[in-house]
Structure 1
Amino acid sequence: MARQSERSAATIDAIVSAARNLFMARGFDPVSIDEIAAAAGIAKGGVYHHFSSKRAIFEMVFDRVQSELASQLNARLDANPGPRTPDTIATNILAYLKSASEPGLHRLILIDGPVVLGLKRWREIDDRHFFASIHSGLVAIMGPQADPREVDAAARLVDGAVMEAALETGAAAKPLEVARLYCAMLKDMLSGLQKGTSRA
Structure 2
Amino acid sequence: MSAARNLFMARGFDPVSIDEIAAAAGIAKGGVYHHFSSKRAIFEMVFDRVQSELASQLNARLDANPGPRTPDTIATNILAYLKSASEPGLHRLILIDGPVVLGLKRWREIDDRHFFASIHSGLVAIMGPQADPREVDAAARLVDGAVMEAALETGAAAKPLEVARLYCAMLKDMLSGLQKGTSRA
Fold shared per TM-score above 0.5: yes
Runs (5+) with no aligned partner, structure 1: 1-15
User: 1:112 and 1:187 mapped to 2: Cα distance?
Assistant: 29
Query: Which whole-Å deviations, capped at 9, do the CAs of 1:153-183 have from their partners, x for residues lacking one?
Result: 0000000000000000000000000000000
The alpha carbon displacement at 1:66 in A equals 0.1
1:118 paired with 2:103, answer: yes
The alpha carbon displacement at 1:93 in A equals 0.3
The alpha carbon displacement at 1:120 in A equals 0.6
Query: Which whole-Å deviations, capped at 9, do the CAs of 1:63-90 have from their partners, x for residues lacking one?
Result: 0000000000000010011100000000
Query: Which whole-Å deviations, capped at 9, do the CAs of 1:122-157 have from their partners, x for residues lacking one?
Result: 000000000000000000000000000000000000
User: 1:192 and 1:38 mapped to 2: Cα distance?
Assistant: 53
User: 2:164 and 2:19 mapped to 1: Cα distance?
Assistant: 38
User: 1:21 and 1:37 mapped to 2: Cα distance?
Assistant: 12
User: 2:145 and 2:66 mapped to 1: Cα distance?
Assistant: 26
1:86 paired with 2:71, answer: yes
Deviating 4+ runs (over 3 angstroms): none
Query: Residue in 2 aligned with 1:3?
Result: none
Larger of the two Rg values belongs to structure: 1
The alpha carbon displacement at 1:49 in A equals 0.2
Number of equivalent positions: 185
User: 1:193 and 1:44 mapped to 2: Cα distance?
Assistant: 53
User: 1:171 and 1:78 mapped to 2: Cα distance?
Assistant: 30
Query: Which whole-Å deviations, capped at 9, do the CAs of 1:8-39 have from their partners, x for residues lacking one?
Result: xxxxxxxx110000000000000000000000
Q: Which residue, 21, 25, 42 being the options, matches 1:36?
A: 21
Q: RMSD of aligned C-alpha atoms?
A: 0.3
DSSP 3-state at the match of 1:76? helix
Runs (5+) with no aligned partner, structure 2: none
User: 1:69 and 1:81 mapped to 2: Cα distance?
Assistant: 20
DSSP 3-state at the match of 1:127? helix
The alpha carbon displacement at 1:98 in A equals 0.2
